[in-house]
Structure 1
Amino acid sequence: MDKIELPAEKRVGHLKLLRESRRISAKEFNALSRSERLDIIRREHGRKKYNLLIEADDAEALVLRMAAQEVYLLIKELGHEDSVDLIPMVDAEQLTTFLDLDCWRGDVFDGVVALEWLALLLEAGDDQVVRAFRQLDFELLVLMIKKHINILCGPEDIDEDDARIEAVRRDGGYEIEFRDDKNAKLVGSILDILLRADGDFYQHLLESVRWEQDSLLEEEVYALRRGRLLDRGFPDPFEALAVHAPIDPERFNVASYRKSALFPVDNAEPPGFYLTPARPKDLLAEVLAGGISEQVAWELTYLINKVLIAERVDVGEPAQVQAVTEEVYRYLNLALEELGDGEVGKATSLFDEVYLEILYRVGYSLPLRLGQRAKKIRQSPIGAYLDGPFRALVEALMRNKPRFFEGLVEADRGGERPFATRQDLLLTGEWLERIEAQMRLFDGRLGFELPAPENLDLTGCHPDHVDDLALSDFFLTALANRVLGRPFVPSPIPRAELAELHGRVCREGRLDAALREETLRFLEGLEAGSGEFGAYCLDLWEEEFCRLKVADLDPRYGCGLIVKE
């Protein structure tokens, strides 16, 4: 095994002790306490985690102290073929969790997937098969077997003269019909092991398979599964949707959501499997820097599980689980930065005192509020004509989960990403205020109304399609008309007048400074804050119109105007 990294921190009770970080051998690793080794194991994932477990002198004891979901994710990450050594180490409760998580499609049990887990048991040896069958929930076991066989008759139905007597005797007195020839050999091998090891249990199992009604049995086992998963922090799918119920941050009251109950903790170690592949960032990382209690670790696990169920994510796909975990951390961070004013002390108090689900819901609600503002803009008369960056911002905010438009921090970027910090929220809010100023400006203050896209006639004009028009085109066209001595309306400018307009508004490749100052003052007088939109439009005119020579003016390639041939 490769050298193992000894962490620079060691937890003793509530204390965190510092020590030298160094690489240690497998022998030194096994000399550490079980808790220390589990802490090291939880920091890894995939093949590295597996190697640490397998090389441990007390591997089985370590696996049994790990949360069932952590072992399940490890098996799913490695794949069944590479996880054979782990199966003999798990107990019936952990194995039941694997089946509960992996073998249901809604309220329908997937017998084929369940058989894959039984195949792992078979590879682990006959004793593992017998032990698991004796310890698993009996109704679940009956359903697993019932998905693959039919019992045509029992011992009481066969007499000595029956031609089937020898074949039936081999199956303990039962005539068995396999539902799928492909899986018949595997299922038959498992039943044969059970028959030879414990005939009474075998008979009890097959009698139950024979007489239980399929639909009622599946319904009963599903109800039992829901209860088991609830105990492990996996709520009912309908109930899980409540995790996305908005909470108004402005009306948030700590006293209303103060923690009053502890979360149940079994004999497993704290579930660090969520803390390793997805690292908290920003203020949340500072809050967690001092470590968290077992209770908080479980509370965080339950929250992430609830979001996984609400998002209908496959809890056996490590990459998807990591993505959801990172999302939970981002929303928690947003809530802590917003409610705690960015201060570590306040944020730590909130994290300790308030249910994490409530903080998550606050963080989830913050981008939603921005999204609601974006929807109002999009539904307003300016919605169809927003200029490039403003349109991209609104579209990013109108996703099911509003996203941050990266062009706000780098003008040459056009991508989107999830909201991560309070600064993302503040910057987006500032830009929305600018667009809302545009909305008020074009609501009659300029002296003209925007035409509905379906009523706009661009015959013989450039641009010639409504999708290519923006607010800046309407405003600059109206301004051009005023410069040329006509009313301030966005009537198309005759192409023949472009040279005259160029001479009036441009000075040596730049926009006339007096015109800029006068225009911005005019806009601010109409609507406070709209000068920023005016500056944006005038900058476009300077780039696309003034820097061209008169001989090079061509409205087909854009000049910030609506031009008629």
Structure 2
Amino acid sequence: MNETVQHRQPFSIERAIEQLHIKRKEILSLSAEKALDAILDHPQPHALIHSFPEQDFYFLIHDIGIEDSLELLSLASNRQWEYILDVEIWQRDTMIIPLVTKWLHILLKADPERLINWFLDEKTEFIEFYLLKNMEVGIREHDQDPSDFGDGFFTFDDMFYIKFFDDPFDSEFKIGEQRDAFLSEFLNRLAAYDFMTYQKVMFEFQVVIPAETEEEAYRLRNVRLAEKGFMPFDEAIGIYQPLKPSHLKRQTKKLMTRDDDRNFPAPLYPAEMLKQDNLFTRSLQTIETGGIFEQLQAEFAGLCNQVISADQKTIREKDELRHIVKKVCGYISIGLERLAKDENENPHRINQSAVMIQKFPLSRIFRAGYGLALELKWRAEKWRKNSWFEKKGLPLSFWGEEWLGVIGGLLIKKPLFFDNYKTGVIYREFASLDDINETESTLSEVIAFDELLCLM
């Protein structure tokens, strides 16, 4: 009997995980209101919410609206809470205290008891650092008059007298009242939860070393985000370093297995936004769902996150993420076309490209594609430096609207394709080898005309 149960258990677990995956995918395709109802009506909402990758959950609550997502936040796991703080409260290497206030207050409203436990079990130094930045504490001697502490001090125990600092960020963030309300409720709940622990915290937070604590918090945050592709800027920017196909092929190939042994599911949002019809998306469609497909899905999500870090953006809305996905997808497709062309293969040979995305890291294929845009930029800059029109002191507008648009797109820091509102925007990311070839052709015409003028 026991052997039968043990034999069946792995299958039932796998089935449950698969059902959660299907349900997640369904929910992410719904409107915000319907997604919220679908989660809350699910027979196991805790399990469903916990099955969401942190990044998908983050976009989900922003899509629904933070205030409307309090019930979802109460169901969320600690790692999902932690991811939200990792993304929201930092600007470069600085913790923005008003943003800490905002999110701790939201979590307190979502589940007060849970926040207290999270603080005591996992986030003691982090919240003690926050307390140090926001309040001072005086300890009353047994024969001391409380009025000696002055105005603004209050106490829960007639021993520790607390005063909140005037908020130096209030003129910018306008959350001084929210901070005072949060701290009052948080400390009151902490004292009610365990009075001895409350008194211990009142002693401990005053000896926190701010610089060391913030530096360590930043280091741990970077480690957690790096696992998802969010690298520090000086590392992430390497994604824009061009790579020639010949160099790519000499580098170590990636290892992929048929069985996906990752501990957590891959984010679905980036992959679900792959709506472009190009060589990369068509190549993905030839790969059966399963271990390899999910590894590519996770790799693509990580690459999108690296580009977000390199571009120094905070992405909260699905439309913002969609722009990043489109950019990454486009340059991977250009890279695949470039690799196929380099091997004298049909650039639209889908099966060959499907092999390439399993063989080479997507980040390197992206760099091979982006390298073509950079080569055009460098060519334009080199020409401009010694051009006839530059020596004559003429403005770029000399070349007329069409040529000005193409040249202008190449001369900015990160080159863009001059779309001229064909798809609704004046500039966009390069999306195909045709975009590269069209721009190269126009640039060649400009250079040839400039050389002709130089001879006159």
**Relative to structure 1, is the Cα distance of residues 152 and 279 closer, same or farther in structure 2, using a 3 angstrom cutoff?**
farther
Structure 1 partner of 2:334: 334
Structure 1 partner of 2:264: 268
Structure 1 partner of 2:100: 114
- Structure 1 residue 175 corresponds to structure 2 residue 158: no
Instruction: List gaps (5 residues or longer) in structure 2.
Output: 1-10, 167-175, 341-346
Please show how residues 548-559 of structure 1 align to structure 2 within 5 Å: none
Please show how residues 95-244 of structure 1 align to structure 2 within 5 Å: 95-153=81-139, 157-159=140-142, 162-163=145-146, 170-171=156-157, 173-180=159-166, 182=177, 183-244=179-240
Structure 1 partner of 2:281: 285
Higher mean C-alpha displacement, 143-152 vs 43-52: 43-52
Residue 436 of structure 1: CA displacement?
Answer: 3.4
Structure 2 partner of 1:433: 444
Check conservation: 2:279, 2:333, Cα contact below 8 A: yes
Structure 2 partner of 1:362: 368
Check conservation: 2:90, 2:96, Cα contact below 8 A: yes
Match of 1:390 among 403, 413, 416: 403
Partners in 1 of 2:351 and 2:158 — Cα distance?
69
Partners in 1 of 2:164 and 2:422 — Cα distance?
63
Instruction: Tell me the amino acid that sits aligned with residue 142 of structure 2.
Output: D
Structure 2 partner of 1:405: 418
Cα deviation 1:244-280 (Å, max 9, x = unaligned): 111134x344241411488997543221111234534
Check conservation: 1:142, 1:208, Cα contact below 8 A: yes
Please show how residues 449-468 of structure 1 align to structure 2 within 5 Å: none
- Structure 1 residue 418 corresponds to structure 2 residue 418: no
Instruction: Tell me the amino acid that sits aligned with residue 326 of structure 2.
Output: E
**Relative to structure 1, is the Cα distance of residues 264 and 163 closer, same or farther in structure 2, using a 3 angstrom cutoff?**
farther
Instruction: Tell me the amino acid that sits aligned with residue 253 of structure 2.
Output: R
**Relative to structure 1, is the Cα distance of residues 381 and 135 closer, same or farther in structure 2, using a 3 angstrom cutoff?**
same
Match of 1:371 among 374, 377, 388: 377
Partners in 2 of 1:301 and 1:320 — Cα distance?
14
Check conservation: 2:271, 2:301, Cα contact below 8 A: no
Structure 2 partner of 1:310: 310
SS class of match (2:367) = helix
Instruction: Tell me the amino acid that sits aligned with residue 223 of structure 2.
Output: G
Residue 86 of structure 1: CA displacement?
Answer: 1.0
**Relative to structure 1, is the Cα distance of residues 417 and 239 closer, same or farther in structure 2, using a 3 angstrom cutoff?**
closer
Check conservation: 1:392, 1:414, Cα contact below 8 A: no
SS class of match (1:224) = helix
Residue 344 of structure 1: CA displacement?
Answer: 0.6
SS class of match (1:293) = helix
Match of 1:69 among 48, 55, 79: 55
Structure 1 partner of 2:355: 349
Identical-pair percentage: 23
Instruction: Tell me the amino acid that sits aligned with residue 393 of structure 1.
Output: V
Residue 169 of structure 1: CA displacement?
Answer: 6.1
Structure 2 partner of 1:381: 388
Residue 45 of structure 1: CA displacement?
Answer: 6.2
Partners in 2 of 1:304 and 1:48 — Cα distance?
27
Normalising by the residue count of structure 2, what TM-score does the alignment of the two structures yield? Answer: 0.80
SS class of match (2:162) = strand
Instruction: Tell me the amino acid that sits aligned with residue 264 of structure 2.
Output: A
Normalising by the residue count of structure 1, what TM-score does the alignment of the two structures yield? Answer: 0.66
Check conservation: 1:407, 1:415, Cα contact below 8 A: yes
Instruction: Tell me the amino acid that sits aligned with residue 111 of structure 1.
Output: I
Match of 2:72 among 63, 74, 86: 86
Partners in 1 of 2:375 and 2:192 — Cα distance?
65
Cα deviation 1:467-492 (Å, max 9, x = unaligned): xxxxxxxxxxxxxxxxxxxxxxxxxx
Cα deviation 1:318-358 (Å, max 9, x = unaligned): 43332222211111111112212232112111111111111
**Relative to structure 1, is the Cα distance of residues 171 and 114 closer, same or farther in structure 2, using a 3 angstrom cutoff?**
farther
Residue 106 of structure 1: CA displacement?
Answer: 2.2
Partners in 1 of 2:404 and 2:249 — Cα distance?
37
Residue 205 of structure 1: CA displacement?
Answer: 2.6
Partners in 2 of 1:304 and 1:388 — Cα distance?
33
Structure 1 partner of 2:3: none
Instruction: Tell me the amino acid that sits aligned with residue 389 of structure 1.
Output: E
Instruction: Tell me the amino acid that sits aligned with residue 411 of structure 2.
Output: M
Partners in 2 of 1:409 and 1:112 — Cα distance?
43
Residue 209 of structure 1: CA displacement?
Answer: 1.1
The structure carrying a bigger helix percent of its residues is: 2
Cα deviation 1:177-205 (Å, max 9, x = unaligned): 11246222321111111111123332333
SS class of match (2:163) = strand
Match of 2:253 among 232, 239, 258: 258
**Relative to structure 1, is the Cα distance of residues 382 and 186 closer, same or farther in structure 2, using a 3 angstrom cutoff?**
closer
**Relative to structure 1, is the Cα distance of residues 169 and 369 closer, same or farther in structure 2, using a 3 angstrom cutoff?**
closer
Higher mean C-alpha displacement, 98-107 vs 139-148: 139-148
Partners in 1 of 2:157 and 2:349 — Cα distance?
70
Partners in 1 of 2:41 and 2:406 — Cα distance?
52
Instruction: Tell me the amino acid that sits aligned with residue 399 of structure 1.
Output: I
SS class of match (1:176) = strand
Instruction: Tell me the amino acid that sits aligned with residue 236 of structure 1.
Output: P
Residue 408 of structure 1: CA displacement?
Answer: 12
Partners in 1 of 2:31 and 2:375 — Cα distance?
37
Instruction: List gaps (5 residues or longer) in structure 1.
Output: 1-12, 14-29, 449-565
Instruction: Tell me the amino acid that sits aligned with residue 76 of structure 1.
Output: H
Q: How many residue pairs get matched? A: 410
Higher mean C-alpha displacement, 435-444 vs 299-308: 435-444
SS class of match (1:275) = helix
Check conservation: 1:332, 1:360, Cα contact below 8 A: yes
Instruction: Tell me the amino acid that sits aligned with residue 209 of structure 1.
Output: F
Instruction: Tell me the amino acid that sits aligned with residue 228 of structure 1.
Output: R
Check conservation: 2:89, 2:100, Cα contact below 8 A: yes
Check conservation: 1:313, 1:320, Cα contact below 8 A: no
SS class of match (1:300) = helix
SS class of match (2:272) = coil
SS class of match (1:152) = strand
Partners in 1 of 2:205 and 2:53 — Cα distance?
32
Check conservation: 1:257, 1:358, Cα contact below 8 A: no
Residue 387 of structure 1: CA displacement?
Answer: 4.9
